[in-house]
Amino acid sequence: MARTTPSAGPRRAGDWRAGVRRAIRAASGPGPWQRGPLLAAAALLLGLLMLLHARITDRAGLGSLVETFLPWSGVFVPVLFAAALWRRSLSAVAALLLPTVVWLNLFGGLLGDKSHPAYDLTVVSHNVDADNPDPAGTARELAASGADLLALQELTPRARGSYEQELAETYPYHTVEGTVGLWSRLPLSETRPVDLGMDTVRALRTTVATDRGPLAVYVAHLGSVRVFPRNGFWTDSRDRGARLLGEAVAAERNERVVLLGDLNGTMDDRGLAGIAARLDSVQDAAGDGFGFSWPARFPVARIDQILVHGVEPRSAWTMPATGSDHRPVAAGISW
């Protein structure tokens, strides 16, 4: 008896109809420009945050807080880009052009190495930490840096003797006012405290005698900032000190000025705008990268600054960690 083969017609017809239904569903679903609207919105908001950061209210210190960590906003760009690729969202990819361009405009200049090998004077600034467990060891590390000028902040009466003893051989000249001091290979004169509106002296001004003429040097430790659950980012003491320090620098008669210190803020922070308007950051002009200095174990912000006027920044770098919770910052300058 002959065997018959079932007809494939109905199955082929069913496969064809299923294919049509799949094509219709694909065509009716959101296209690449319609996918990921939340991702696109997040990218635009990120770009606007960076672009308009100066317009953010400083109520409860919000503006200063955003500006302190503004360089880290760029971290969200590759995260959003990866999410946009996963969602196959062209709109999100296009929206990411805004934060990318703004971030590069703000910080792209810091990515390259702008340092020069030759300079006349090496300066170092370091918040040595009042709770430093090994001030003598920190002093020896700083003395080995080869700096001509060494500015220290957060000196305590208990640790001051250790620094004076360990630095005496390398630096024949030094001066201390309150909790800040300057050690120098060159003679110092006309030293005086600078009022920052605080109970203790945390800033000084002195004149360094160089073979190119006098150099006015300021060493400062501005007030700390605090984060409170109810009050937010508190910067009142820091901002008041920054205003007074800016006024002192503005009244300086010497045309060559160097400011070394822990300013408890980045140069993007509006609280330091008065100082930034008068002095130039060596890190921005001659550094390699962002030069983050705090906290020492994993630095996320540069709050230790070397600022100049009337001299040329040639190089800037961050030194290895010592026993402090800050890392030392260094710079080479020329006339």
What is the β-pairing status of strands 149-153 and 180-184? Answer: antiparallel
Domain spans in the chain, listed from the N-terminal domain onward: 37-110, 121-334
* Separation of alpha carbons 317 and 140, rounded Å: 19
Strands 329-334 and 121-127: antiparallel
d(CA 135, CA 239): 29
pLDDT, tens digit (0-9, with 9 covering 90-100), for 34-79: 888 999 999 999 999 999 999 999 888 889 989 999 999 999 999 9
The architecture of the domain spanning 121-334 is: 4-Layer Sandwich (3.60)
- Per-residue pLDDT tens for 273-307? 999 999 999 999 999 999 999 999 999 999 999 99
- Confirm whether pTM is higher than 0.95: no
What are the structure tokens assigned to 314, written together? 């040639």
Single-letter amino acid code for the residue at 110: L
Please state, in angstroms and rounded to a whole number, the distance separating the CA atoms of residues 84 and 90.
7
User: Is the four-CA dihedral 189, 195, 200, 203 of positive or negative sign?
Assistant: negative
DSSP category for residue 299: -
- C-beta neighbour count of 110 within 10 angstroms: 16
pLDDT single digits (tens) 184-227: 999 999 999 999 999 999 999 999 999 999 999 999 999 998 87
Report the SS3 class of residue 322: coil
**CA dist 263 to 224, 287, 291, Å?**
8, 18, 15
Residue 66 phi, psi dihedral angles, 5° rounding: -60, -45
* Residue pair 220/196 in contact by the 8 Å Cβ criterion: yes
